[in-house]
Amino acid sequence: MENWMDCDYLVNFAAMTSGGKASEFLLTIYDGHPGTKELLEDIQKESQGKFHLKGLSGSSSALVASSVVRHLNGIFFFLFPENEEAAYFYNDLAQTGIQNIYFFPSSFRALKYSQEKDPANTILRTEVIRAVSSFQGAGSLCIVSYAEAIAEPVVSKDTLLSNTFRIERGNKLSISFLDEVLHSFHFERVEFVYEPGQYAIRGSLVDIFSYASDKPFRIDFFGEEVDSIRTFDVETQLSVEQKESVELIPDLAVLQGNVSSILRQPGIRAIIWAGDLPLIAEHFRTLSGKPVSSEGSGNFITYSDAETLLNEIKNLEVIETGLQAFFPGKTITYSTQPQPVFRKNFDLLVSHLEENELNGITTVLLAENPAQEGRLAEIIRNLKPGLHLTFEIGSLHEGFTDNDLRISLFTDHQIFDRYHKYHIKGLFHKSEQITLQELMALQPGDYVVHIDHGIGKFAGLQKIEVNGRMQEALRLVYKDNDILFVNIHSLHKISKYKGK
């Protein structure tokens, strides 16, 4: 850890260049702030200390958090009332360049207390549970989450280890034994895998979509030996990366065994960073004791008891950033204001830039890419030639002004009144091309679009011989009953027809 006590109370603007990468600047901007110094001094002195950081606007909370994370060891749990608020904070924290940061969602789709499982969320939860279980205490581990996800219990470390099956290249392993393992893990055998919890066996090839990876892997056997392992793209079926080993992990939510809150990590320093803990507590109480869906498993568990969760949080170090603190403790005050609402009013923007310059406040304009920087710079310079502009390539959810640091961070998407979308690392997204899941749902007569041949009718799957080998292909029918066979490995060339 670097010695933060030696930092001067100023921002290093010399490190900022037009079009540069903003992460280093954002990472260290609050290192020298007196409030951050005070927090870091006091949190080292107090066991189970409670702190309330008042006056943090926009994305300033995430930037303060990045300074704190870099100077303390332990697991940081960043908690928020709702999924979207947590996701934007995750993006802001990731923008600073902080490493070992994970998003921990509910097992279910992003609908209020939805009971429909989301395979992508299950993968992310598994990834976090593995990361927390293997954390030894050195350095920092950041988990960003929200009330519903935290209230959903997780399996113990021992249960995770006993339900992990490792496969290495060169292992002696029969396909029949692997089939039994997958069956015991409640994996579903299908023709083609397209989501976690599925596997397919075709001759010497076994495709498996484990809950431990955002991509399925293909194991090629030579007799009873693992000859090769590679991940592949679900939609194109093309190989992505060679692997020396992989781990099979079932859906942890349906396992029998001890469950508890992910916040309970004996022997490891855990720090809670909570945005609006009173509202988080309300969500805990709404969910408390209600059943967590575990379809078909027979293993019906309930959301964690709210008072037990709150007591677990009480026994940890807690930093709150909401308007009201849940726990009594020390208050540290920052002086920030949210970015003004411009809504494409560039005259108003120029007026604020001039006012900041007169008041000795440096304005940094955050642009998501160089093209956006150039567009914004041209607009401002046409309105006010000679105005000093400082740009950084980067993105925060919400801009702000810090009166102590004498700096304003304005975001381009707020200036242009654009929707700002968050991105979660490891969360796989659907594209316009057809997926195997959609393929299996197609009915003969449904219309599809081939990138080269246009609109045709789906006429089912058919095995055809290609270079002496039988392969699965889509049969498409065109005008005058012309037939086009499309190899299953060329699904990226096909999309569903969306016309009327």
Tokens, residue 370:
């160089």
Q: How confident is the model at residue 3 (pLDDT cuts 50, 70, 90)?
A: very low
Instruction: Tell me the two tokens of residue 260.
Output: 């508890």
Give kind and range of the element (H or E) at residue 62: helix 60-71
Q: What percent of the chain has pLDDT over 90?
A: 53
Angle at 163 between CA 159 and CA 168, to 5 degrees: 140
Model confidence at 470: pLDDT above 70: yes
Q: How far apart are CA 276 and CA 61, in angstroms?
A: 12
The DSSP 8-state label assigned to residue 135 in this structure reads: -
Q: Which of 428, 394, 400, 429 is nearest to 93 (CA)?
A: 394
Taking only the tens place, the pLDDT of each residue in 413-435 is 999 998 888 888 766 544 545 66
**Single pTM value for the model:** 0.79
- What DSSP element (H or E) covers 182? helix 175-184
d(CA 280, CA 277): 5
Decide: 352 and 72 in contact? Cβ < 8 Å: no
Kindly state the tokens that stand for 163. 């339900």
Residues 177-226 have pLDDT tens digits of 999 999 999 999 988 888 889 999 988 999 999 998 888 999 999 999 99
Average pLDDT, the chain: 85
Q: Which residue has the higher pLDDT, 14 or 225?
A: 225
Phi-psi region of 427 (alpha: psi -120 to 50; beta: other; left: phi over 0): beta
pLDDT tens readout for residues 104-149: 999 876 555 456 777 888 889 999 999 998 898 888 999 999 999 9
The pLDDT score that the predictor gives to residue 5 is 33
**Which one, of 380, 406, 404, 405, lies nearest residue 391 by Cα?**
380
* List of domains in the chain: 22-155+261-333 (3.40.50.300), 164-249 (3.30.2060.10), 436-496 (2.40.10.170)
Average pLDDT over residues 450-465: 82
Query: 451 CB contacts (<8 Å, ≥6 apart)?
Result: 493, 494, 495
Q: What is the pLDDT, as a whole number, of residue 467? A: 67
Q: Give the per-residue pLDDT at 257.
A: 65
H or E segment and range at residue 225: strand 225-232
Per-residue DSSP letter, 425: T
Average pLDDT over residues 353-380: 92
Angle formed by the axes of helices 83-95 and 60-71, nearest 10°: 60
Where is pLDDT greater, at 293 or 158? 158
Question: 285 pLDDT exceeds 90?
Answer: yes
